[in-house]
Amino acid sequence: MKKNIIKVSGAGIFLLFLAASCSKNDSVNSSLFSGKDISSEAEITASAETKTPSISIGKSGNWKLYSGKTNASVNFDNNILSGKSSGTFEITGQKNFQIYCLDLDGSRTVLGVRQLPVSGQRNFRDLGGYKTTDGRVVKWGTVFRSGKCNELTDSDLLYLASASLKTVVDFRSESEKASEPDKVPSTVVNRKDLPIDAGNLGGYDITDIFVKGDVEAAKQLLVEGNKAFILDFQSEYRRFFEILQSGDNTPLMFHCTAGKDRAGLAAVLFLSSLGVDKETAIQDYLLTNACTNATLENMQAAYGQGNLATCMYYVYSVQREYIQAAFDTIESNYGSVENFLTNQLNVDLNKMKSLYLY
């Protein structure tokens, strides 16, 4: 069975202020970062079936791996794994959610699992680990994105409970929630409903698109949908940021049905509010296709070689042009993403950074 492969990328040397900012934040262990940026030398993998994690080390050297349930509780008294060579190593005895810290030749970086190992929702992802344009890093284990959670298994729910998931934000319509009600771990105490009824956005009828095999209309459906999210659903996204800025709702997960459109835009806006660059935010958006295995070949295997399969692919995947339509709509109507966030969604950018960056 294929494992979830999570790569933590980046290169260069951390800015000194990163360590200084961590030391001033009581919720973060200041020992998580030191020396050179070694994040590009490490991958965390996890099996959705067994929940067992592994670490891949891309560079030989003296290394030790530490872990903890939270950013503040990584235990440096005892390493859970160590070695001197590169390679992939299973982290035995750990099947719960953890934050990891790798020490490689005296340099340290914090690591996490991007695609969480839950078999009932393969698009459940941690938004931590992304770098900002000023050299800081989004906290792991704090904000997650997902699709519908009605098929989570008992072992999935136990795993998510080990992440102390506290709040679930649901962007689905009332009918979607009624037909496929969420399963949530026992730790969830806040259920926040922000219904965005996608419907036939932009005047396109999805059934008609499939019947006619109209490939261009299939693409345009999601282009127009992203424009509508920006122009017509600002109150829902404004409320989303109010919840994020309360400071008392994390760890938090937000989702829609597929976890790609309504939640996809929410993730892009969240990362943008922290100073993550546009291309990195787009790459997170596009990661949905790999997580859900949304490929044209798979659609053709299921629906044949005709236009129906192609339409299905463009409706049930994400494409750069979809999220670019959201960026273009923001820029043409509000000047910049920063203006949109601060003026339309009432986002306090400094507060967001204080809450969600190392």
Task: Return per-residue pLDDT of the chain as tens, 358 residues.
Answer: 333 433 333 333 343 334 444 433 445 777 999 999 999 999 998 999 999 999 999 999 999 999 999 999 999 999 999 999 999 999 998 999 999 999 999 999 999 999 999 999 999 999 999 999 999 999 999 999 999 999 999 999 999 999 999 999 999 999 999 999 999 999 999 999 999 987 656 567 889 999 999 999 999 999 999 999 999 999 999 999 999 999 899 999 999 999 999 999 999 999 999 999 999 999 999 999 999 999 999 999 999 999 999 999 999 999 999 999 999 999 999 999 999 999 999 999 999 999 999 9
The pTM for the full model equals 0.91
Alpha-helical segments (H) within the chain: 16-23, 154-162, 174-179, 206-212, 215-232, 234-245, 262-273, 278-292, 296-303, 307-316, 320-334, 337-339, 349-356
CB 216, CB 318: distance < 8 Å: no
Residue the block writes with tokens 């399963």: 183
Integer Cα distance of 86 and 111 in angstroms: 17
Number of H helices, E strands in the chain: 13, 13
3-state secondary structure of 29: coil
What tokens does 52 get?
Answer: 């067992």
